[in-house]
Amino acid sequence: MGRDEKVVSQKAILREKMLSLRRSIPVESRTDMSNTIGRDVIGLPEIVNARHIHLYLSMTSHAEVDTAKIIEGLTAMDKQLSVPVIIDGKLFSAAFHKGDAVKVAQFGQPEPEVVSVIDESQLDVILIPLLAFDVRGYRLGYGKGFYDFFLQRLSKLGRTPFRIGLSFSRQMVDEVPADPWDEILDGVVHEHGIIRFT
C-alpha cells in the first residue's frame, strides 16, 4: 500500500512541532504532570483488573510522560509487566521487572539488557507513548509504525488489549493526519484525567 505524500508531510510537520512543544515544558511541570497521570493510570478499572500490562520505558530526551511511577505502582499491585523491544525492525513485548538493567537501544529508547520475549496473547493493557492525539483516538507516534503493526499483529491473534495513550493535555490537536493502517486508541490519560474513545 503506497503512502499518501500529503499525509507523510503533514505528519512530519506535526511531529516536529509537538516534540518541540513537549520539550518546552519545564522539567518540574513535566514531572508533576507525569506523577498525576501515573496516579490516574493505576486507578483505572482496566488496570486494576489486568494481569499483564505492556508499557514503555520513557525517554527523557523526548520529554515523554515519565512511566517510572507507573512501574512502581504496578509492581506494588503485583502486575506482570513487559516493555517494547525492537527485533529485526518489529516491536515485541519483553518481560520487565522494576530495577532490571536497561540499555539504550537503536532509536534511543531504553530496553532491558536481557531480553525475554513474552507470549503476546497474555497482554491485557498496553500503555503507549505519543506525540499528538485527536478526539477520534488517532495518535501520532515517531513515524516508524512499530505500535500500529504490533497492535495489528495482536488483532490477528484474536487479542485486543485495552490501548491507552499517555500524554500531556497540550498534545491534543483537532485532527491527526492518518494513514489507513493507523490504529486507534481506546483512551488517553493526561494530567486532567482520561478521555475514552470507545
Q: What is the pLDDT of residues 72-114, one digit of tens each?
A: 999 999 999 999 999 999 999 999 999 999 999 988 899 999 9
Phi, psi of 87 (to 5 degrees): -130, 120
- Grid coordinates representing 115 are 531480553
Region 149-172 average pLDDT: 95
Question: Dihedral, CA atoms, 49, 55, 57, 59, nearest 10 degrees?
Answer: -120
* Average pLDDT estimate for 104-132: 94
Kindly indicate the confidence band of residue 145, based on its pLDDT and cuts at 50, 70 and 90. confident
pTM: 0.95
Q: List residues bridging with 95 in a β-sheet.
A: 82
Average of per-residue pLDDT across 161-175? 97
Query: Residue for cell digits 531504553?
Result: 110
Q: Given this model, what pLDDT does residue 120 score?
A: 93
Q: Is 53 helix (H, G, I), strand (E, B) or coil?
A: strand
For the chain, the structural domain boundaries read 5-196
Domain at 5-196, CATH class: alpha beta
Instruction: Compute the Cα dihedral for 91, 94, 100, 101 and give only its sign.
Output: negative
> What pLDDT, on the 0 to 100 scale, is given for residue 2?
58
| pLDDT recorded at residue 1 | 47
Task: Give the C-alpha separation, 195 to 169, whole Å.
Answer: 10
Closest CA to 66 of 195, 138, 137, 167: 167
Task: Give me the active site residues, please.
Answer: 139, 148, 182
Q: What is the pLDDT of residue 144?
A: 85
